[in-house]
Chain A
Amino acid sequence: MATRPLGVEVPGVALALRRPGAWTVLARFCRKKPLGAIGGFLMLVILFTAVFANQLQTHDPIATDAGQSLARPGADHWLGSDHLGRDIYSRIVHGARVSLIVGLASTLLGSVLGGVIGLLSGYVGGKTDLITQRVMDILQGLPLLVLALVMSAALGPSIPNVVIAISIPIIPRAARVIRASVLSIREMQYVEAARAVGLRHLRIAFRHILPNTVGPFIVLCTAQLGSAILVEAALSFLGLGVPEPYPSWGRMLSVSAAEYAQKAPWLVLFPGLAISLAVFGSNLLGDALRDTLDPRLRGA
């Protein structure tokens, strides 16, 4: 998959064989994978919402307003308000920021750490690999939520701690994927050629193998992002996630939402929909990316 210049110049054909521009690639992607395009669009909307939360909000998300307790969705509160009169729409908009930050940060942290571990472990092989594998097994032996739960309780409620708590279960999963990818690439001819020429191992690892794990890495990230968002929501729901005053979609669903749900079903509906859409988008995009970037992984 390494790019090499063509050895022959043929007039006319040269133009056609030029590398396609970014927009063309995108257009092609949207046409071939409409579901993926939808997913990508959803993620963009959420990203946009997160970045421009302050501009998109209609009210201060943490300001209470006694007179507006449990107001129905309407002109004043687009998605209604909660028992303290806080605007649901504005809280969901800001919740996007929290969910995305926590989700992305924990996914990237876990995936990069896990990826590096997997890369080195797979490349070096031998005893190091074996031991690392066992350590990864230990971390992976527990369901994501259970491990995140214990970690979150261990570290205490704060955004950095939640990010760490969720990233730790991701590390072994990332390591496994990257390691598998590395193992398959390692045997390829050009790597052997590089070694024969005498290039140092680290250089081989990072210059030749790493770029080719990018595909699986991206797929891994999008897959884990959805899980990370869900785990954050579950942790917040159980009271161990992102603390006040940051609005978190998961925490909006705990405590008072269910209690007042019959008078104000929007308390339960909208935060849940928000979470679902975010994860849905990331999964759609992840699927499509996986199909495109690495057909071999389709069955995995």
Chain B
Amino acid sequence: MTRSTRIVALAMSLGLAAAFAGAAPASAQAPKYGGHLNLMQREDLSQGFAVHETSTIATSFPSMPCFNNLVVFDQSKRAETVDNLVGELAEKWSWQDNYRNLVFFLRKDVKWHDGQPFTSKDVKFTFDMVREAPEAAAKLRINPRKDWYTNVEKIEAPDPYTVVFHLKRPQPGLLVMLASGYSPVYAAHVNPASYRTGCIGTGPFKLKEWRKGEFVDYVKNTDYFMKGRPYLDTLRYVVIKERGTRTAALQAGQLDVSFPGETTKTAAEQLKKAVPGLVITPVAQAVSDNIILNTKKPPFDNPKVRLAVSYAIDRRALISAVHQGGAVPGASQQPKPYGVWGLLEKDLLALPGYGKPADMKAHAKKLLAEAGITPQNPLRVEMSTRAIAMYVDLASFVINELKQVGIEATLKQVETAQWHPMATRGEYQIGANLTGLGVDEPDANYYENYACGSPRNYSQYCSEEVMKMIEQQSQELNPQKRLALVSALQKKVEADAARPLLDWRLDYFTVWPHVKGLVPHDNIYNFGRMADVWRDKQ
């Protein structure tokens, strides 16, 4: 080879090597140990770390580093499906007796933050307490998810590292519900009330300090059962109530991570413009906008009038007007590709509110006319909503839509403290509401929001047919058959229009580029474990 040929060959091979290096996946980067992260916390924790006594992201997200579940959704994967379940406190699990018994084989090397060993006793203690079993050793002061476990007959702990959930009937969905950020395991040797002020968990981080109204400090759990985790040394969740200030703090780099569900599309665009390096990942939140209608009192005891409301609201216009495009249409289960149970496109488009706006409104007027409501005899109602900007924006838009079909709604703002009592007691006519789902599981959704007598079924909707459908899909073991049943259920509840679903919100989750390994899920409640997150030193 001549000298020049050798040089060219060398250059080419170097070039190829460089090309290969550049083409290597980013995850080939080796995680670095150490470092600190500041995470945004939009308000102070509601009841400390008592996850089982709240259903708000303000508590569950900053509590996740402290706890472990039996099983959890793979934190590194965005989609939350049965296939993405990984064990935490459970090494292995298996369904037995045709999905009637769920057996967990627990890890033997787990210790609580105070040094006590973790055993099956803790699991039995926690879930007996949550399901309010007669033999439960403790009681929760507030228990929002009792309904998730109504099908559990008995929980057995035959030996220190085995737990068996005996169910009354098959329920494949139970495993998924146990993976939610809302299903951590409490310590049996600790008073559950103590979680309101502190946190004894098994998780990757130990609580160092909770300065009320200011921040929550975590420090690495060096005895964490997952060897080599966590990567980070410390975490701090910084409480900033003022919205402008916390956006500015994220932009200025004083916060590394945004709060789940906090960043709208427009805000994300603004952040990206100011700091082009920010990593923004649009994900679904598992939070929906919906309308609650009091089905027990006129005028919304009339299904035609309810349906008219659903027809009147142009879903796409709503997404554009209220969210500037930062939301997606869907029925009562989160739509594909964000959720696994979403309706097919063609079925969705057949639902009220999705067709041509003029046609939809005309149909609404027709339905109202059948109920005796005409432009000469308009319907006057009061639309209640929580006195929070998110809710008020939504309500204002809906009021505008309803006006166009002859329903005159006036806005009534209700303070947070009175919203749930008002809704539960049925002291309203129509309301604009947001609902967050702890997990993409029809059992959790329908038993909470649509089942007869459920405290969160604000519409007080009670249909025997729907109850049967809920029960049926809950026991269906064949995934395809179950999907079909859930689709039918979604169509049915939209047709009954007790709680018309408007859209599903998106979050434009934002992190600084040096934050690695934090993968947002299509659900704000379940990805905050922080064990795999590391900081790339600049």
Contacts and interface: CB of A to CB of B under 8 A. Distances in A.
Interface of B: 242-245, 247-248, 251, 264, 266-267, 269-270, 273-274, 317, 320-322, 324, 387, 389, 392-393, 395-397, 400, 411, 413, 415
Given A156-B415, A157-B387, A245-B396, A259 B244 contact: yes
A50 interface: no
A244 interface: yes
Contact of A259 (B267, B321, B387, B397): B267
Interface stretch (A65-73, A133-141, A282-290): A65-73
A83 B392 CA distance: 13
A169 to B, nearest CB: 22
A65 B321 contact: yes
B416 to A, nearest CB: 10
B411 A64 contact: no
B324 A64 contact: no
A258 interface: yes
A291 to B, nearest CB: 39
B266 A70 contact: yes
Given A64-B322, A67-B320, A243-B413, 14 more contacts: A64-B396, A69-B266, A69-B324, A83-B324, A85-B321, A157-B415, A244-B392, A244-B411, A254-B243, A255-B389, A256-B389, A257-B244, A259-B243, A262-B274
B249 to A, nearest CB: 12
B243 A258 contact: yes
A197 interface: no
A184 to B, nearest CB: 46
Contact of A255 (B243, B245, B274, B317): B243
Contacts of A256: 243, 389
A185 interface: no
Contacts of B244: 257-259, 261
Nearest to B418: A156
Given A66-B320, A84-B393, A243-B387, A263 B243 contact: no
A248 to B, nearest CB: 12
B242 A258 contact: yes
Interface of A: 62-67, 69-70, 83-85, 156-157, 239, 243-245, 254-263
B439 to A, nearest CB: 29
Contacts of B396: 62, 64, 84, 244-245
Q: Which 10 A-B pairs have the closest CB atoms?
A: A258-B244, A66-B321, A66-B320, A255-B389, A243-B413, A263-B270, A244-B392, A64-B321, A259-B243, A259-B247
B153 to A, nearest CB: 46
Contact of A64 (B266, B397, B413): B397
B248 to A, nearest CB: 8
9 contacts: A65-B321, A84-B322, A85-B321, A157-B413, A245-B396, A255-B389, A258-B242, A258-B245, A259-B264
Contacts of A258: 242-245, 247-248
A261 B247 CA distance: 10
Contacts of A85: 321
A261 B243 CA distance: 11
Contacts of A63: 400
At the interface, is chain A mostly helix, strand, loop or mixed?
loop
Contacts of A257: 244
A239 B321 contact: no
B270 A262 contact: yes
A197 to B, nearest CB: 58
B340 to A, nearest CB: 30
A209 to B, nearest CB: 44
Contacts of A254: 243, 389
Nearest to A82: B393
A265 to B, nearest CB: 11
B387 A239 contact: yes
A11 B438 CA distance: 94
A260 B321 contact: no
Nearest to A83: B266
Contacts of A156: 415
Contacts of B273: 262-263
A262 B269 CA distance: 11
A259 B245 CA distance: 8
Contact of B270 (A62, A66, A243, A260): A260
Contacts of B411: 243-245
A231 to B, nearest CB: 19
Contacts of B321: 64-66, 84-85
Contacts of B274: 262
From A64, A69, A245, name the one whose CB has the most chain B CB atoms within 10 angstroms: A64
A263 B266 contact: yes
A259 B389 CA distance: 12
Nearest to B397: A64
B511 to A, nearest CB: 18
A157 B413 CA distance: 8
A101 to B, nearest CB: 18
A241 to B, nearest CB: 11
B398 to A, nearest CB: 11
Contacts of A157: 387, 413, 415
Nearest to B322: A84
Nearest to A243: B413
A156 B419 CA distance: 13
Nearest to A255: B389
Contacts of A65: 321
Contacts of B324: 66, 69, 83
A263 B268 CA distance: 11
Nearest to A69: B324
A228 B80 CA distance: 52
Contacts of B251: 262
Nearest to B317: A66
Nearest to A65: B321
A157 B411 CA distance: 12
A263 B269 contact: yes
A62 B397 CA distance: 9
A200 to B, nearest CB: 50
Nearest to B319: A66
Contacts of B242: 258
A125 to B, nearest CB: 44
Nearest to B413: A243
A69 B317 CA distance: 13
Given A157-B413, A239-B387, A260 B266 contact: yes
A28 to B, nearest CB: 47
B128 to A, nearest CB: 40
Contact of A260 (B267, B320, B393): B267
Nearest to A239: B387
Contacts of A67: 320
A65 B321 CA distance: 6
Nearest to A245: B411
B14 to A, nearest CB: 44
A278 to B, nearest CB: 22
A53 to B, nearest CB: 19
Nearest to A158: B413
A218 to B, nearest CB: 36
